[in-house]
């Protein structure tokens, strides 16, 4: 006979609560997030984590893969819309397709920015947790590869290596913004800037990033 406790552990809503709590605490603490804190926040117990995920590592990997997949799916959808039928997209269209999904998440809630920063930190320092990092990195590489292919068609005068350098520069800008590192912006702009405003961020950041990809090829 299934007991009430076992039923609660296997309940799909318990799984969803654990995923939400893990994402929230991961945004705060990164890989140092404690299982005890996750289950307390989710109103669950450690047995539920073992039942649904097997381990803390598997739980965090799934949280990251879901979030990463959502951003990448939207990026590729936007990219496909501007390259449909073999059309060569403009640099601006390509960069906007890459930036908008991530930046929209950054400004969606207080958790999203720090969460994306933690995600990127794991991917760029695979030694932190190789299994988790490599899992997410595979998704990143697939998505970024598609954007590099589109950029090669739009900027055939640039080498793949040059495009990769510029892509990593763009990633660096997004990581900085995602990490809530904009506290001094209002003061430096004398109140003219509003760093948590998505429309303002797009208006200011997008032309800057596009200019980087439209810059001439470096001298040989």
Q: Is 155 inside any structural domain?
A: yes
CA–CA dist 93, 75 (Å, integer): 11
Q: Are residues 204 and 147 in the same domain?
A: yes
Residue whose C-alpha is closest to residue 16's, from 47, 52, 51, 60: 52
Domain of 41, in residue numbers: 7-54
Condensed to tens digits (0 to 9), the pLDDT of residues 65-81 reads: 888 888 899 999 999 99
Q: Is 220 inside any structural domain?
A: no
Q: Which portions of the chain are predicted below pLDDT 70?
A: 1-12, 109-111, 113, 117, 120-135, 179-183
Q: Are residues 21 and 96 in the same domain?
A: no
Tell me how long the chain is.
220
Q: Are residues 91 and 161 in the same domain?
A: yes
Q: Is 24 inside any structural domain?
A: yes
Q: Is 153 inside any structural domain?
A: yes
Q: Residue 108 has what pLDDT?
A: 72
Q: Is 193 inside any structural domain?
A: yes
Q: Are residues 38 and 67 in the same domain?
A: no
How many structural domains comprise the chain? 2
Can you give the CATH number for the domain in which 26 is found? 1.10.10
Give whole-number Cα distances, 152 to 77, 88, 100, 145, in Å.
Answer: 19, 10, 20, 10
Q: Are residues 141 and 33 in the same domain?
A: no
Q: Are residues 73 and 96 in the same domain?
A: yes
Q: Are residues 34 and 70 in the same domain?
A: no
Q: Are residues 84 and 188 in the same domain?
A: yes
Give whole-number Cα distances, 137 to 125, 130, 131, 176, 205, in Å.
Answer: 10, 10, 10, 19, 25
DSSP 8-state assignment for residue 80: H
**Backbone phi and psi for residue 2, each to the nearest 5 degrees, phi listed first:** -80, 120
Q: Is 219 inside any structural domain?
A: no
Q: Are 143 and 69 in contact (CB under 8 A)?
A: no
Q: Are 9 and 47 in contact (CB under 8 A)?
A: yes
Q: Are residues 38 and 113 in the same domain?
A: no
Q: Are residues 185 and 95 in the same domain?
A: yes
Q: Is 121 inside any structural domain?
A: yes
Q: Is 93 inside any structural domain?
A: yes
Can you give the CATH number for the domain in which 102 is found? 1.10.357.10
């Amino acid at each position: 006979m299934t007991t009430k406790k076992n039923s609660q552990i296997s309940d799909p809503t318990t799984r969803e609560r654990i995923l939400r709590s893990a994402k929230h605490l991961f945004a705060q603490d990164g890989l140092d997030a404690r299982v005890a804190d996750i289950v307390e926040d989710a109103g669950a117990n450690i047995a539920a984590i073992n039942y649904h995920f097997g381990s803390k590592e598997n739980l965090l990997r799934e949280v990251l893969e879901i979030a990463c997949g959502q951003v990448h799916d939207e990026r590729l959808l936007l990219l496909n819309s501007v390259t449909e039928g073999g059309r060569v997209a403009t640099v601006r269209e390509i960069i906007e397709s890459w930036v908008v999904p991530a930046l929209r998440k950054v400004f969606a809630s207080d958790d999203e920015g720090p969460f994306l920063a933690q995600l990127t930190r794991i991917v760029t320092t695979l030694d932190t947790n190789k299994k988790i990092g490599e899992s997410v990195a595979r998704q990143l590489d697939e998505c970024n590869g598609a954007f590099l292919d589109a950029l090669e068609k739009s900027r055939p005068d640039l080498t793949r290596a040059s495009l990769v350098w510029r892509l990593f520069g763009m990633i660096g800008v997004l990581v900085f913004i995602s990490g809530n590192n904009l506290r001094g912006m209002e003061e430096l702009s004398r109140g003219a800037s509003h760093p948590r405003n998505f429309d303002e961020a797009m208006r200011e950041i997008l032309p800057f990033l596009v200019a980087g990809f439209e810059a001439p090829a470096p001298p040989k």
